Structure 1
Amino acid sequence: MPERKRIIVIGGSAAGPKAAAKARRLDENAEIVIIQKAPDLSMASCGYPYYVGGVFDDRNMLICTPTGEVRDPKFYLKAKGIVARTETEALRIDRQAKTLLIRDLKSGAEETLAYDKLIIATGALPKKPPIPGVELDGISTLQSMGDADYLRDIRDGRQITKAAVIGGGLIGIETCEALQLAGIDITVIEMLPQLLTFLDWELAKLVENHVRAKGANVITDNGIAEFLGENGRLTAVKLQNGTELPCELAVVAIGVTPNVRLAQEAGLEVGATGGLLVNEYMQTSDPNIYAAGDCVEALNLITGKKVHAPYGDLANLQGRAAGENAVLGNAVTFPGTIQTGICKVFDFAAGSTGLSEKAARAAGLTEIETVINASPDKPGFMEGKLLVSKLVVEKSSGRILGAQCVGPGDVSKQLAIWAMAIKARLGVEEMINADLPYAPPFSLAIDHSIATAHLMQNKLKGRMRGISCVEVKKKLDAGERLFILDNRAPEEFDQMRLGIGERLMPLGALRGRLNEMPADKNAEIICFCKISLRGYEAARVLEGHGWKNVKVMEGGVMAWPYPREK
């Protein structure tokens, strides 16, 4: 009988339990141990904001299986034959002896465990700003079950009236919603010029407008200078511009840093992003040690550069690969990521996959084209909801580099389509005839994603000269003379207008009113409508009658991120 393989997993959140479970399925005889510092195991950490917000009330739902079994040490031992030691800290890795020193946090007793293969899944630690007052009571993160319990107790007890969320990323926005739903007066404070930096500014601004419309205050371009308190408890935050905002709670959500102290002390290599350096097999610089989850860096499959991508789905995929390779040798790979992410923003969703325009240009991909599409996810008679998408492609080849989508419609479906297109290295021409499922309850006859590809094809072939809302605003602010046509119906114009000097010119009336167009055939004309389909058709009419500098404002009224007239 072959000698039993001994596999130790450090970390019991997402990647660690997944690695252990995969290893067990492939080797029934292996001795598998999980070392977990926290009292809980296999926590659905992405669910913390929804527990805090009261979407569900049973805490155990964060740590149970789909069938309702709590994933505690008894569950792991009985169901999987895995020894899970909670409230146990990993202290030191001895790579030469292939041992791990651990300490029981309840008794203080230390013990040395031998391993054949070690899997490090120590996750990430929340960043805290290095400013005065950061240790005051009332300052929290939302990184652990303890944090979730603390914030849920505040919600249930209605103990506070004002709170600040420091950071406008995924966790910050989800925390904002959770606390606002509890009736707490919320202010989101973001040091950068926009929320959700994985989006380009114009889409992020639409999200910001929505957050404000839901009653939360948003401050951008202004960071925290100091936490103020009395008797050791938070009373206010002071911004970098000197403004003081009273609050009794501050949730810091400014990102995470890989938790690699243990690995570094063992001499394992750390990459430029601060995450553990691993190859495609999730193997560290020590061939007997694998790593997965938020403590590692990954390869961005588009740029070829290493990134830190702390996403729950990637942690599970990496853990699965690490577990299999720890048992079978380097049999499977995790090739990398295109960094697909999504979050709920009240009744909006916002997400991206691949590269934003800003990220693409920062990566040196300057020969790109972008297009914005605003249109429903389903027909109007099925109560379709708005989607605003931005597509980024390589201009020469049409290869899809990235997509972003926001709105109350089915954002997740759009991102899933584009994520698979990017992974398959598809181009615009492959997407314009994509064979997607259609029926009115689910989609338009031409799905929003395919329509976005059509818009991009028109731009790449020179059939449409698009201009973004941001570019139009810049031109107006610079004092440029533009002839701006609103091609909506009069009743739409009366209900809402942009207030940028636009002239009402319904599409159906355009051919009969060409005499009102500029005499100069080279004059810059901007056409738009609600979503700019009619704007595109108007532009084609004008070009057919000899005007040479006609542009379509992409996304129309629905993509305009600035204040509108009503």
Structure 2
Amino acid sequence: MENQKKIIVIGGSAAGPKAAARARRMDEFAEITMFQKGPDLSMASCGFPYFVGGFFDDRNKLLCTPTGVVRDPKFYWNAKGIVARINTEITRIDRRKKTVEYKDLITGETGVQTYDKLVIATGATANRPPIKGIELDGISTLQSMQDADYLRKIRDEGKIKKAVVIGGGLIGIETLEALQLSGIELTMIELLPQLLTFLDWKLAKLVENYLKTKANVITKNGVAEFIGENGKLVAVKLQNGTEIPCELAVVAIGVRPNVALAREAGIEIGSLGGISVNEHMQTSDPDIYAAGDCCEITNLITGQKVLAPYGDLANLEGRVAGENCIRGNVATFPGTIQTGVCKLFEYGVGITGLSEEKALAAGIDFVKVINASPDKPGFMDGKLLVTKLIAETETGTILGAQCVGPGDVSKQLAIWATAIKGGLTVDDMVNADLPYAPPFSLAIDHSIATAHILQNKMHGLFEGISALEVKQKVDRGEDLFILDTRGADEYEETRLGIGETLIPVGMLRKRMNELPTDKSQEIITYCKISLRGYEAAMLLKAHGYTNVKVMEGGIAAWPFDKEK
């Protein structure tokens, strides 16, 4: 057909298929070809850990449409009119001739194909550290469908008894759960002082404490060597000399963008190692777009470039690239606020927007608060959530939220992600009109309660203090009066053991004589979640005490050991 546009897409995982499908919807008559180096197309790679863990058994579910049809080359041709070539590697992009060179990895056939517009969606590759023994049998990643098949085979055979997961990020956490469900004794090894470095330390510590009930956890220690016998892994040697016997090691220390093709073609690569694109997903070559894990994109809050290898973003970016290949630069992908969530056994863990550490690095003046409270009423079996909320000091604009716990974390992150994208403030959120019924939430949703606490703090109604600051003050031997306002039964069950005095909030007015006579004495109040601690602080301030602080999140957010 005359003037028929020729679109080539390199990559068949997430961004590539989305770009190809969007281009087809925009132009029924375009010639669209998608090249995939591997044997599978449109893999739901975020589902790999759940296939490995046995949440479902049919691997094809990772490759299916919602109606159960496997997305193979036949599907792409029949349903979408897209030529999908699997097991075919693009070896070179010639920008001057506007051609790509390819090689069929099964037959060895080579060829050249021309394009009008090109989409690079080459994804990312799992990092593998240059450590002695890395080539041993029994060392894997969880980046590809083949990795998932390998680990699922290990699960099904049930022969391996001990394994290590190296790296405490999202993929490492999800992989550990998958393997632990297989009955394997697990050890997680993280070089840095905390797991899940996108969280601030306190919330990461709460997650670590929970994870230790399921597996061994080692932080501040890296792998020095993989030890093998007869070519097979038998142990991991740590940097401190400790040897951990194991038959399997899964390396989950992040990914790096696949940019070799783009770099060799002279396309601009950013300072973080990803392909540089504008808001239209257009590269430095106006006829070439890029999408997915191979790209650098903009953080919408800081304006800085980031690598954000998330499946949802890859699809959004691919959609924009595919439309712009046909219609010109009409569609935009402005950037990300880096929302992420993962499941860890009965826990949810996630973040949207900036952490405290990222806000500090960006030079933003902010206020913060921690709220520990249920997601639903107790009579509906409500479960705990711990949320840390960060807002700009002057305007109250929401900057970020972190949430962990066995409650509905995903719902909270969705609320805060929408608030951040909408530029909402703390004052906007205190009266948010959210759906309420006891099976779904409290009358004042956890998110709204979090906004209430931060608004109170911003208006000077109370002064908060973090558990970490309290612990540091205690360790330094500062002169504190620490007031536990819970009931005696709660105190007998769990206490902090930091020299606290128990006065239930309902008895406080009658027992004021037990408080310091010096009303400038620093007093720290708390309870299980510090709601009663807040009430006690307000009462004490009304009676003239001038240096009263509420320990945010209470015992529920205390990340250190407790007495029982």
Q: Same fold (TM over 0.5)?
A: yes
Q: Aligned residue for 1:438? A: 436
How far apart, CA to CA, are the structure 1 residues paired with 2:204 and 2:473?
21
What one-letter code is carried by the residue in structure 2 that aligns with 1:33? T
How far apart, CA to CA, are the structure 2 residues paired with 1:506 and 1:408?
27
Q: Aligned residue for 2:166? A: 166
Specify the SS of the correspondent of 1:387: strand
Q: Aligned residue for 2:213? A: 213
Q: Aligned residue for 2:108? A: 108
Q: Aligned residue for 2:503? A: 505
Deviation at 1:507, TM superposition (A): 0.3
- Matching of residues 57-206 of structure 1 within 5 Å: 57-206=57-206
Q: Aligned residue for 1:18? A: 18
Deviation at 1:159, TM superposition (A): 2.1
Q: Aligned residue for 2:9? A: 9
- Matching of residues 184-333 of structure 1 within 5 Å: 184-214=184-214, 216-333=215-332
How far apart, CA to CA, are the structure 2 residues paired with 1:239 and 1:353?
33
How far apart, CA to CA, are the structure 2 residues paired with 1:239 and 1:368?
39
What one-letter code is carried by the residue in structure 2 that aligns with 1:344? K
Give the total of aligned pairs: 564
Deviates more, 1:107-116 or 1:232-241: 232-241
Q: Aligned residue for 2:454? A: 456
How far apart, CA to CA, are the structure 1 residues paired with 2:360 and 2:202?
16
Deviation at 1:40, TM superposition (A): 0.2
Q: Aligned residue for 2:417? A: 419
What one-letter code is carried by the residue in structure 2 that aligns with 1:52? V
Instruction: Tell me the alpha carbon deviations over residues 352-379 of structure 1, each in whole angstroms, 9 at most, x when there is no partner.
Output: 00000011112222x2111000000000
Instruction: Tell me the alpha carbon deviations over residues 504-535 of structure 1, each in whole angstroms, 9 at most, x when there is no partner.
Output: 11000001111111111111101000000000
How far apart, CA to CA, are the structure 2 residues paired with 1:227 and 1:336?
39
Give the one of 473, 481, 488 matched to 1:483.
Answer: 481
Deviation at 1:233, TM superposition (A): 1.2
What one-letter code is carried by the residue in structure 2 that aligns with 1:190? E
What one-letter code is carried by the residue in structure 1 that aligns with 2:308? A
Specify the SS of the correspondent of 1:77: helix
What one-letter code is carried by the residue in structure 1 that aligns with 2:135? E
How far apart, CA to CA, are the structure 1 residues paired with 2:326 and 2:195?
43
How far apart, CA to CA, are the structure 1 residues paired with 2:105 and 2:147?
19
Specify the SS of the correspondent of 2:212: helix
How far apart, CA to CA, are the structure 1 residues paired with 2:82 and 2:21?
8
How far apart, CA to CA, are the structure 2 residues paired with 1:129 and 1:507?
54
Ranges of 4+ aligned residues in structure 1 off by more than 3 Å: none
Q: Aligned residue for 2:350? A: 351
Deviates more, 1:147-156 or 1:127-136: 127-136
How far apart, CA to CA, are the structure 1 residues paired with 2:367 and 2:520?
24
Identity %: 71
Q: Aligned residue for 1:545? A: 543
Specify the SS of the correspondent of 1:213: coil
**Runs (5+) with no aligned partner, structure 2:** none
How far apart, CA to CA, are the structure 1 residues paired with 2:48 and 2:21?
23
How far apart, CA to CA, are the structure 1 residues paired with 2:462 and 2:67?
53
Instruction: Tell me the alpha carbon deviations over residues 44-82 of structure 1, each in whole angstroms, 9 at most, x when there is no partner.
Output: 000000000000000000000011000000000000000
Deviation at 1:464, TM superposition (A): 1.1
Q: Aligned residue for 1:410? A: 408
What one-letter code is carried by the residue in structure 1 that aligns with 2:346? D
Q: Aligned residue for 1:474? A: 472
How far apart, CA to CA, are the structure 1 residues paired with 2:71 and 2:340?
26
How far apart, CA to CA, are the structure 2 residues paired with 1:474 and 1:393?
25
What one-letter code is carried by the residue in structure 1 that aligns with 2:432? A
Deviation at 1:212, TM superposition (A): 1.1
What one-letter code is carried by the residue in structure 2 that aligns with 1:137? D
What one-letter code is carried by the residue in structure 1 that aligns with 2:310? Y
Specify the SS of the correspondent of 2:224: strand
What one-letter code is carried by the residue in structure 2 that aligns with 1:347? E
What one-letter code is carried by the residue in structure 2 that aligns with 1:125? T
Specify the SS of the correspondent of 1:557: helix
Specify the SS of the correspondent of 1:396: coil
Instruction: Tell me the alpha carbon deviations over residues 207-235 of structure 1, each in whole angstroms, 9 at most, x when there is no partner.
Output: 11111112x00001111111111111111
Deviation at 1:501, TM superposition (A): 1.0
How far apart, CA to CA, are the structure 1 residues paired with 2:193 and 2:257?
25
Deviation at 1:128, TM superposition (A): 1.0
What one-letter code is carried by the residue in structure 2 that aligns with 1:112? V
How far apart, CA to CA, are the structure 2 residues paired with 1:324 and 1:2?
21
How far apart, CA to CA, are the structure 1 residues paired with 2:135 and 2:475?
44
How far apart, CA to CA, are the structure 1 residues paired with 2:473 and 2:513?
25
TM-score (norm 2): 0.99
How far apart, CA to CA, are the structure 1 residues paired with 2:551 and 2:159?
48
**RMSD over equivalenced CA pairs, Å:** 0.7
Q: Aligned residue for 1:40? A: 40
What one-letter code is carried by the residue in structure 2 that aligns with 1:463? L
How far apart, CA to CA, are the structure 2 residues paired with 1:369 and 1:455?
11
What one-letter code is carried by the residue in structure 2 that aligns with 1:195? L
Deviation at 1:2, TM superposition (A): 4.7
What one-letter code is carried by the residue in structure 1 that aligns with 2:316? L
Q: Aligned residue for 1:388? A: 386
Specify the SS of the correspondent of 2:295: coil
**Runs (5+) with no aligned partner, structure 1:** none
Give the one of 517, 522, 525 matched to 1:524.
Answer: 522
What one-letter code is carried by the residue in structure 1 that aligns with 2:69? E
Deviates more, 1:445-454 or 1:471-480: 471-480
Give the one of 355, 376, 386 matched to 2:374.
Answer: 376
Deviates more, 1:238-247 or 1:328-337: 238-247
Give the one of 463, 466, 474 matched to 1:465.
Answer: 463
What one-letter code is carried by the residue in structure 2 that aligns with 1:473? K
How far apart, CA to CA, are the structure 2 residues paired with 1:221 and 1:523?
38
